[in-house]
Structure 1
Amino acid sequence: MIEQEIIEKLKVLGLKEYEARVYAALVILGPSKASEIAKESEVPRPKVYEVLKELHKKGFVDISEGSPTYFKATDPEKVVASLRDMYIKSAEDVIIKLKSYQKEQRQEWFPIWYLQGEWNIKSNIEGLAERAEEEFISALVDWKLGFKFKKAFEIAKRKGLNTKIILPKPKRNKRYIDTLSQLGEVFPVSLEKALEDDQGNFELLAKALFTGDTSYSVEGIFIRDGRESIMVYQEGEILKGLIVRLPFIPTFQRMIILHLIDKSRQ
């Protein structure tokens, strides 16, 4: 039985569905006849010869002519290395080509961008830390974001930024706090209690920022120099991000976080 995960990964590396199935079947079977390959791979018999011929042209299958003809998979390590190299070269060629199409960037200023996709959000938060000049502060409602976006804090530490991290006071997992403490100044706080007890000027702003209905909830906020912020939030089951470059909004977000830090010290 060929695992579908293997087929999908071979497809990502550049093989077509039938090519991935036939090659994986040959690895499992060893030297085999076309009829055996068709049965194991579940590729229609009339298509198997065509697929084997294509794999042979690529150097992924060896052929022993005879009656019957036998086929053998080339060493998987060499095949995957070849696919990986072709994949990387294609990616590099596409980058070069796409950049050659780029026109001179327009100079319009866009103050707000919406993000989706964890890798995209992560990349933008790391870029936020790279652009920071003095300060990188964050409030993590979901403590797991600290590990998920750990590289951003590592960048901030490398740059010697004033890094502050406010996070929910955990019931356990001291190791987690100790790990983040190596990357910045950590302030564990009970957010619910802080919002309940808060009677100061920031009460309404803090509650509006960190509480919401069931379809929308803030998971974390990252701010650089009080000038630019990325808010990570959950909408349904989808993690999204919001880049804000309107100066007064990151300024207010920063003030709220510093206010909560002050409360954590009391």
Structure 2
Amino acid sequence: MREDEIIEKLQRLGLTKYESLAYITLLKLGPSKATDVTKESGIPHTRVYDVLSSLHRKGFVDVMQGTPRLYKPVNPEVVLEKIKEDLIEDIEVLKRAFLDLYREAHGEELPEIWTIQGFENTVERAEHIIRTAKYEVLINTPFEFLKLLQSEIKNRKDVIFVIISNFGEEIPEWLRQDNIILAKSGGAPWLMASWIIGDVNYALFFGALPRDRRREKFYSFWAKSPRIIQNYMHWFYTIYFDNSEVIKPLNYNGLSKPLSLVNIRTLITVLKFAGLPRKAEIVGRYIDTKEPVNLEGKIVDYEYTPLTANITFRYNGSELKVGGIGSYFEDVEGEKFILLD
């Protein structure tokens, strides 16, 4: 590497041009007097002592006391490793600080949306969503793609699945689990897009499946943002599920309790099979005051339209309207719904 390139990289690490020249010179000469550094590097005599003192403070140079005073370069591996550790620590601190700033201003994590290239990569992301979901998975996709997720779906009996597809006459055995709701697409809507959504953590979206072998040219979209994914969930139900025919209901009595959900429309869909009233716990916040709440009571009613989804929750002798994330007409914004019986 040329010397000017080394100087440029040292400057990116925080050294000045003169400091970079002085350190390189000491590596060439070994322990040296300031006057020797001046002669070899061309650094003005009036500046060299300040430059060497600054390098000492930054950990690049050791000072050997005596007459004359000598300056010794610190081993490059030692000094650069220390810079690397400090830089990584500073980056991590900044990442946390930036995320905290965004969270304070917007009330959620920083949204993340990526483009995924390659059909196999898309399948892997869909499998990841199913593996990592804690409460619910929503899937709208052609059966051709759904079959690729068979193994992951069979392994998850501890989350609620709501699956929409162009099913045939027979329901496969691996889709007969108690925790699965199946709906047969009403027609064209399922062709418009595929969605695989896990809780409010991850969502995968893509269009038509590849029809040829050029699967590396296939693109999908991966999102991580609770409020964005809440919108996706809304579309999932109002565009697709509500226009499809339920062909396999949830076996609510066969599920382990308590049962936790994070989407208000999934909750109401489950309640349609479970019946009312239902003992439940609501985790969220009051909409007016933003105060966090944890309420235990009974769900006694629900409202479900393309524009509105909420439950009536009886708590301490009064009734509260509870909606999902982003609610503003109701009394409580629910972030987690726990069915207790």
TM-score normalized by the length of structure 1:
0.42
Query: Which protein has greater RCO, CA pairs closer than 8 Å, 6+ apart?
Result: 1
- Report which of the two has the higher share of helix: 1
TM-score normalized by the length of structure 2:
0.34
- Report which of the two has the higher share of strand: 2
